[in-house]
Amino acid sequence: MKCKVCGREAVIKLKAYNTSLCADDFISFFEKRVEETIRKYSLLKNGRPIVAVSGGKDSLTLWYILNKLGVAADGIYVNLGIGEYSLNSLEKVKKMAQRLNRKVYIFDVCEIVGKNIEGIARIMKRVPCSACGMVKRYVMNRVCLDMGYDVVLTGHNLDDEASALFGNLLYWREGYLWKKDLTLEEKDGRLSRKAKPLFLCSERETAAYAIVSRIDYIYEECPLSFDAKSLVYKEVLNRIEEISPGTKIAFVKGYLKMLKKRKAFEEEGDGKGMGVCEVCGYPARGLRCAMCRLMEKSDTSKQIAFIEYNPEEA
């Protein structure tokens, strides 16, 4: 198998693009896709971005590429206190912070709330992933706004988006269906802007990029992940992709087109029906936001705070 660009030995075949590439040309191809996605969909709008990092391949790849493309981006990491998994993922995040010489804000749930994410889930009477989602959303939003950044970037890839979309369609969860987008706009200075620059890059491409760029990421999945359904959806979509290359990207791009048409007809916003938390001033569905209710129920005297890990000072 030869590289379609330079004729050297290829390391990856990309059926969706009907091409095969060597390591160097694959790196250029992948970076160009991310750069184009950012430009075409105005993901950054010249703002100062911050990347939500977990230690996994997607978020670390995103963080690395942005800095390589000349976009100075710092990171946010939530330490969930899940034993070895959290220790290892924090180590990978710090290692990347050192490689890029960028700052990362760390929110340590055990330190601040006094419980790890499983303990928090029990207090909130939610499953761990739901509690985790709430804490991460709060922390991303708050760090972004408090520390003067303009947009939070996350590492969601094409497979994540296609499988979520597929699941929403299968069960016709209309409430969720039209909420997926490449960006979520800033609202009233209390809800930060969000964007997903890897939206059109598949999981396989992202993993290949991470490997050829020697990005040291955590291979293990979070031990609390039970989302068996999304794995099945990913498998089904990969099966379809094998028979008909390019289906996943057409599915997601088609959705984006439909969404654009829909938006032209109705005004919609994630902050709809949202008020302001009487304690912290950030968005809330009731008098107090879910994070402030959690802090009240946990017997902690701590205030919400972030550790600033600065490789230059470490």
Q: Enumerate binding residues for ligand Q46 (CB under 6 A).
A: 117, 128-129, 132-133, 222, 224-225
Answer yes or no whether residue 224 interacts with Zn ion by CB under 5 A.
no
> Cβ closer to ligand Q46: 52 or 277?
52
3-state secondary structure of 163: helix
- 279 forms part of the interface with Zn ion (CB under 5 A): yes
CB of 264 to ligand Q46, least distance (A): 33
Please report how close the Cβ of residue 190 comes to ligand Q46 at its closest, in angstroms.
Answer: 24
Q: Which does 279 bind (CB under 5 to 8 A by kind): ligand Q46, Zn ion, none?
A: Zn ion
Distance CA 59, CA 56 (A): 6
CB of 127 to ligand Q46, least distance (A): 8
Contact between 289 and Zn ion per CB under 5 A: yes
User: Which one-letter amino acid corresponds to residue 163?
Assistant: S
Residue 200 binds which entry of ligand Q46, Zn ion, none, with Cβ cut-offs from 5 to 8 Å by kind? none
Q: For residues 128 and 197, which CB has a smaller minimum distance to ligand Q46 in the complex?
A: 128
Which is nearer to ligand Q46, 20 or 163 (by Cβ)?
163
Residue 25: what are its φ and ψ, rounded to 5°? -70, -30
Outline where the chain has alpha helix (H).
Answer: 23-40, 57-68, 83-100, 109-113, 117-124, 128-146, 158-170, 174-177, 203-212, 228-243, 247-265, 290-297
Q: How far is the CB of 130 from ligand Q46 (least distance, A)?
A: 8
Minimum CB separation of residue 55 from ligand Q46 in Å reads 10
The CB-of-114 to ligand Q46 minimum distance in angstroms stands at: 18
Which of these ranges, 12-20, 30-38, 115-123, 272-280, lies near Zn ion under the rule CB under 5 A? 272-280
For residues 127 and 287, which CB has a smaller minimum distance to ligand Q46 in the complex? 127
Angle at 174 between CA 169 and CA 179, to 5 degrees: 95
Dihedral, 123, 128, 129, 130 alpha carbons, nearest 10: -20
Report the chain's terminal Cα–Cα distance, integer Å. 45
135 makes contact with Zn ion (CB under 5 A): no
Choose among ligand Q46, Zn ion, none what residue 277 binds, the Cβ cut-off being 5 to 8 Å by kind.
Answer: Zn ion
Residue 292: contacted member of Zn ion, ligand Q46, none (CB under 5 to 8 Å, by partner type): Zn ion
Q: Among 1-9, 62-70, 242-250, 282-290, which window interacts with Zn ion (CB under 5 A)?
A: 282-290
State which residue, 11 or 276, has the beta carbon closest to Zn ion.
276
* Dist. CA 113–CA 75, nearest whole Å: 21
Q: Which of 116, 84, 97 is nearest to 220 (CA)?
A: 84
As given in the structure block, the two tokens for residue 211 are: 């490997």
Pairwise CA distance, residues 207 & 141, whole Å = 27
Q: Do residues 79 and 109 touch, judged by C-beta distance below 8 A?
A: yes
Q: Which residue from 37, 84, 79 is spatially nearest to 206, judged by alpha carbons? A: 37
Q: Which is nearer to Zn ion, 196 or 293 (CB)?
A: 293
Residues that bind Zn ion (CB under 5 A): 277, 279-280, 289, 292
